[in-house]
Chains A and B, each alone.
Chain A
């Protein structure tokens, strides 16, 4: 497979502090990689190395097939970057920002003006185009930021926490624009601390914590790696709560009673066959059920399990599942 981003064992230290200990990742051309991790995990430093802004202390990386250290200048012709702080000039207008960067990308005065008008239109910024960016809302600034990194029609875009601090509407609008860009064939590496965002946008997720990759896979693979489903049973009669709990306990769960016994939940493994056993047992015990739901673990739970595991790696091993 063709990869637009390939990083091998990247390491970056700042004085005493090691920001990135060992990060390797690959982004196939035309796909979206979500780099997921808590604050301080090394996401931004990784992106800055890939975007030629800092040189790795060791390890190698290629972007658009070019080495980010030896060929930094040529890499820059193929990339677009948005930082977690919006990298636009607050004193210039939106249009002036776009024209400035267009001219630096050698589109010429007229070419830059045309491209600026196009992008302003596409990002719904035409009305605000001639106002200083300092007067923009957070969502408008991020949209402009994304627009500026598309001026040169780059092959690879790095989005460093593109929606941090945005309201839900602006976030959804930005997600939509990112999806359009993916549809147009751009390769995207996106960092985020929001699991929902990684889940929504990424083809592939790399989870990093304390400068190391701790898990990777598609969103589904990551959810499967946790491997347990949450079963939720709603009862018609709270008096049956204990009986229902006993049924779940027999399947190896540790049931919890909620809402005064109206709801019984447990984490179990075994998928649909398990569900049919549970419902059969409940019918046999004469428990009247209004609803049975099976919920896959959310990416949040996967994330907490992964990062929690590294945080307490010296603690007791997770309890072994009983079949």
Chain B
């Protein structure tokens, strides 16, 4: 019946190698898009930059928050965490736009791994997050933020922000697949950004928060991220409470656990949901 000789299936290692290769090739596609629409980068830096200027520059010296000596240095890790949170919306919008486009069918008709389309998407958005982190840090320097830490610590802090940011991109995949329209994605991702950012110790030290809220804020993964970055960058932690909550005392294990949990849940569910959503 058939003209072709049976093709042997690839082994698992070769398949993984192909999936990674395809992920990078597809990431290249998104980065080429970005080259044509550079304004997308600017929008990602806008909200965090405004917060940095408003709180760090305008309010600094007028408002005293808790026992924090240098408020700008205190909030900059939180501002950078906002950049990571902003990625949720970026990826969600990208996923929604691609589903409405015939090109998803084309990719699905190719002999490539199911996950490579989303891997490519999130890798490209991670590059966007990295660029935005640098741009927002520059805004911080412009308003007087100074880092007093060895280069290795600065790189480690950047690594933590990107790790957390990557997990958020997969949250964005789920959000996009659940909401399916750009309008709802915009409003929900905006809300997520504000709630997760302000209901953490990004801008207010934990001991200055009302006790009920403090518990919630302490276990918000953004708090673990911000605390870990503050520790690395040598900024004022404001940790003077005698008995700090666990995520504030040991931010790294809490952060890694949160990132692992998000990825373990979101990657398989997102991949399957994306496959189903495209099969209509």
| B7 adjacent to A74 (CB under 8 Å) | yes
| A73 adjacent to B111 (CB under 8 Å) | yes
Which residues 128-172 of B sit at the A interface, judged by CB distance below 8 A? none
A73 to B103, CA, bound (A): 18
Q: Which of B22, B25, B103 contacts A87 (CB 8 A)?
A: B103
| B279 adjacent to A53 (CB under 8 Å) | yes
| B108 adjacent to A53 (CB under 8 Å) | yes
Q: Which of A51, A81, A100, A155 contacts B25 (CB 8 A)?
A: A100
22 interchain pairs, CB-CB under 8 A: A2-B1, A52-B108, A53-B105, A53-B278, A64-B2, A65-B2, A73-B111, A74-B111, A77-B7, A79-B109, A83-B105, A87-B105, A88-B106, A89-B101, A89-B103, A91-B36, A100-B26, A100-B28, A104-B110, A105-B111, A148-B106, A155-B3
- Interface membership of B33, Cβ < 8 A: yes
| B25 adjacent to A103 (CB under 8 Å) | yes
Residues of B within 8 A of A117 (CB): none
- Interface membership of A66, Cβ < 8 A: yes
A65 to B4, CA, bound (A): 8
A155 to B4, CA, bound (A): 10
- Interface membership of B107, Cβ < 8 A: yes
Q: Which residues of B contact A (CB under 8 A)?
A: 1-4, 7, 18, 22, 25-26, 28-29, 32-33, 36-37, 101-103, 105-112, 278-280
A78 to B109, CA, bound (A): 10
- Interface membership of A54, Cβ < 8 A: yes
A52 to B105, CA, bound (A): 10
| A104 adjacent to B107 (CB under 8 Å) | yes
- Interface membership of A76, Cβ < 8 A: yes
Q: Which of B101, B112, B279, B280 contacts A104 (CB 8 A)?
A: B112
Known A62-B1, A66-B2, A87-B105; 11 more pairs at CB < 8 Å: A52-B108, A55-B279, A76-B111, A77-B111, A80-B109, A88-B102, A88-B103, A89-B103, A92-B33, A101-B110, A104-B25
Q: Which residue of A lies closest to B111 (CB)?
A: A76
| B105 adjacent to A104 (CB under 8 Å) | no
Residues of A within 8 A of B278 (CB): 53
| B102 adjacent to A86 (CB under 8 Å) | yes
Q: Which residues of A contact B (CB under 8 A)?
A: 2-3, 14, 29, 48, 51-55, 62, 64-66, 73-74, 76-81, 83, 85-89, 91-92, 96, 100-101, 103-106, 132, 148, 155
Given contacts A54-B279, A83-B102, contact A91 B3 (CB under 8 A): no
| A29 adjacent to B3 (CB under 8 Å) | yes
Given contacts A52-B109, A103-B25, A104-B110, contact A65 B102 (CB under 8 A): no
Residues of A within 8 A of B22 (CB): 104
A100 to B26, CA, bound (A): 8
| A91 adjacent to B33 (CB under 8 Å) | yes
Given contacts A53-B279, A65-B2, A76-B111, contact A132 B36 (CB under 8 A): yes
| B32 adjacent to A91 (CB under 8 Å) | yes
Chain B's nearest CB lies how many Å from the CB of A138?
14
Residues of B within 8 A of A89 (CB): 29, 101, 103
A2 to B32, CA, bound (A): 44
Q: Which residue of A lies closest to B29 (CB)?
A: A100
A87 to B3, CA, bound (A): 28
Residues of B within 8 A of A76 (CB): 109-111
| B110 adjacent to A105 (CB under 8 Å) | yes
Given contacts A91-B36, A100-B28, contact A81 B106 (CB under 8 A): yes
Q: Which residue of B lies closest to A105 (CB)?
A: B110
| B110 adjacent to A54 (CB under 8 Å) | no
A55 to B279, CA, bound (A): 8
Given contacts A89-B29, A91-B37, A104-B22, contact A65 B105 (CB under 8 A): no
A296 to B280, CA, bound (A): 41
| A51 adjacent to B32 (CB under 8 Å) | no
Chain A's nearest CB lies how many Å from the CB of B207?
49
A79 to B69, CA, bound (A): 66
Q: Which of B1, B32, B103, B108 contacts A96 (CB 8 A)?
A: B32
Residues of B within 8 A of A101 (CB): 106, 110
Residues of A within 8 A of B26 (CB): 100, 104
Q: Which of B2, B3, B18, B102 contacts A85 (CB 8 A)?
A: B102
Chain B's nearest CB lies how many Å from the CB of A82?
8
A132 to B103, CA, bound (A): 15
Residues of B within 8 A of A92 (CB): 29, 32-33
A287 to B108, CA, bound (A): 67
Chain B's nearest CB lies how many Å from the CB of A107?
11
Chain A's nearest CB lies how many Å from the CB of B41?
15
